[in-house]
Amino acid sequence: MLNSADNDLICRTGAGTAMGNFMRRYWVPFLYASELPEADGTPLRVKLFCERLLAFRDSTGTLGLIDEFCAHRGVSLWFGRNEEGGLRCPYHGWKYDTRGNCIEVPSEPAESGFCAKVKLKSYPVVEKGGVIWTYMGPPELQPPFPAFEWLDLPASHRYLKKRHQESNWMQALEGGIDSSHVSWLHSGELKSDPLHVSKGAVYQRDTTPKFEVVESPGGLQIGVRRNAEVGHYYWRITQFILPWYTMIPPYGDNALNGHAFVPIDDETTIVWSFTYHPARPLSEHELATMNKGGGMHVELVPGTFRPVINKDNDYLIDRQAQKERRYYSGVAGIAMQDASLQESMGPIVDRSKENLVSTDNAIIMARAILKRAAVALRDKSVTPRGLEPESHRVRSASFVLPAGVPFATERADDLRVREGVAHTGI
């Protein structure tokens, strides 16, 4: 359990908070590239870490991410005219470029130099892997760009989906590193979802897993073992990579999966789900399954990032399916089974009321790492870890080992990216 002060520390991400300042030291995925498809197109409202921003492409196609509000009298620049190399406020014609520089104030003579005194907050942006990323920390401390394996694969090898979750980011992350719930909450999908049915799913009928959690350069390697053949354990290794990434162990040759849980504000989260295969294109079968909301993905309300299954329709819970154990909780789909329970806790769960057990060890360690890093940055200006590209070059894996053999050393190669070599899965 956490006391109220520590709970606030890990959950609150607004400007000036310890966790907010910590998160701003990392590159942040926030838009599909396809959401800004054209030069001089419609600007998009963006909210990250409680900040209201505006993203747009100027006449040359250059991306910008700036403060949403005009420096004159606070009009939202979402109403602006995107034209001739900048975004012009329709109220009085003030104009801004992609770096937030004021480049024209029609009411003031150019020789007055007034424009040079006006600048909106802006952040650098990079487009890669079909995603637009930003860095919101101190400019002089900008880290190298992330080096996740899926970023450099052909588009045919990866599938990305973004949705909004109505809970604090930490509730979503904790679900992503909690392997013990799979044997319960997702037990129906382990028998029916075509991207999860495998020999490994059979092993997960053991509902009393044991955890071994090892710190890594970028975060944690979360090893969970279940009984397999006599004298052997079935291992599933989840990667937690600071500050908000998880990589989920694969099933056989099915693709790898992972998430990023990015705070929009303290009560809403962007959940990125990425599926990729290092050694082959995704099959028509895999794509069709994911397009229908299978695997780790969801169907969305058209024109939004809100799931069709949501709290306003009670997640379309099916009590008969619950009784028949087709869906253990009565909610269909792995992603929404998780989200429904995480949202049910309320926008920010009160962790002082928890009663944790041994299978919560990964969550306990992740909280400790995040708190320690945020406080060290705040109090001693200690550079966060997990910024180095090499810390991203990891994989999740599943395999069987003889009892007593440590997974972290015996299967270290399976937990690293190997160019052109398929991942390890059971």
Give the pLDDT confidence score for residue 118 in this predicted structure: 97
Quick one: 226 and 81 in the same domain?
A: no
Q: How far is CA 297 from the centre of its chain?
A: 13
Quick one: 116 and 157 in the same domain?
A: no
Q: Which domain holds residue 88?
A: 27-141
Inter-CA distances, 218 with 175, 213, 286, 369, 394, Å: 19, 13, 30, 11, 9
Strand order in the sheet with 131-135: 27-32, 131-135, 125-128
Q: At what angle do helices 169-176 and 361-380 cross, to 10 degrees?
A: 130
Quick one: 113 and 261 in the same domain?
A: no
| Residue 20 belongs to a domain | no
Provide the CATH number for the domain around residue 83: 2.102.10.10
Q: Across all residues in the chain, what is the average pLDDT?
A: 95
285-313 pLDDT, tens digit each: 999 999 999 999 999 999 999 999 999 99
| Residue 299 belongs to a domain | yes
Quick one: 332 and 298 in the same domain?
A: yes
Quick one: 212 and 120 in the same domain?
A: no
| Residue 159 belongs to a domain | yes
115-124 pLDDT, tens digit each: 999 999 999 9
| Residue 18 belongs to a domain | no
Give the pLDDT confidence score for residue 1 in this predicted structure: 77
pLDDT band per the 50, 70, 90 thresholds, residue 265:
very high
320-336 pLDDT, tens digit each: 999 998 999 999 999 99
Quick one: 98 and 32 in the same domain?
A: yes
Quick one: 222 and 371 in the same domain?
A: yes
d(CA 335, CA 307): 10
Residue 198 has pLDDT above 90, yes or no: no
What phi and psi, each to the nearest 5 degrees, are found at residue 76? -70, 125
Quick one: 288 and 373 in the same domain?
A: yes
Residue 341 has pLDDT above 80, yes or no: yes
Domain tally for the chain?
2
Structure tokens of 207?
């509902």
Return the top range by mean pLDDT from 111-115, 196-200, 227-231, 243-247: 243-247
| Residue 262 belongs to a domain | yes
Tell me which residue of 37, 81, 88 sits closest to 63, measured CA to CA. Answer: 37
Please identify, among 121, 141, 161, the residue that sits at the C-terminal boundary of a domain.
141
Rg (CA), the chain: 23
| Residue 7 belongs to a domain | no
Task: Let me know: does 362 contact 213? Beta carbons within 8 Å.
Answer: yes
Please identify, among 103, 124, 141, the residue that sits at the C-terminal boundary of a domain.
141
Quick one: 366 and 408 in the same domain?
A: yes
Quick one: 235 and 121 in the same domain?
A: no
Quick one: 383 and 271 in the same domain?
A: yes
Give the pLDDT confidence score for residue 334 in this predicted structure: 94
Determine the residue type at 58.
Answer: D
| Residue 54 belongs to a domain | yes
| Residue 21 belongs to a domain | no
d(CA 263, CA 248): 20
Quick one: 133 and 241 in the same domain?
A: no
Task: Let me know: does 426 contact 200? Beta carbons within 8 Å.
Answer: yes
Provide the CATH number for the domain around residue 252: 3.90.380.10
Please identify, among 81, 114, 141, the residue that sits at the C-terminal boundary of a domain.
141
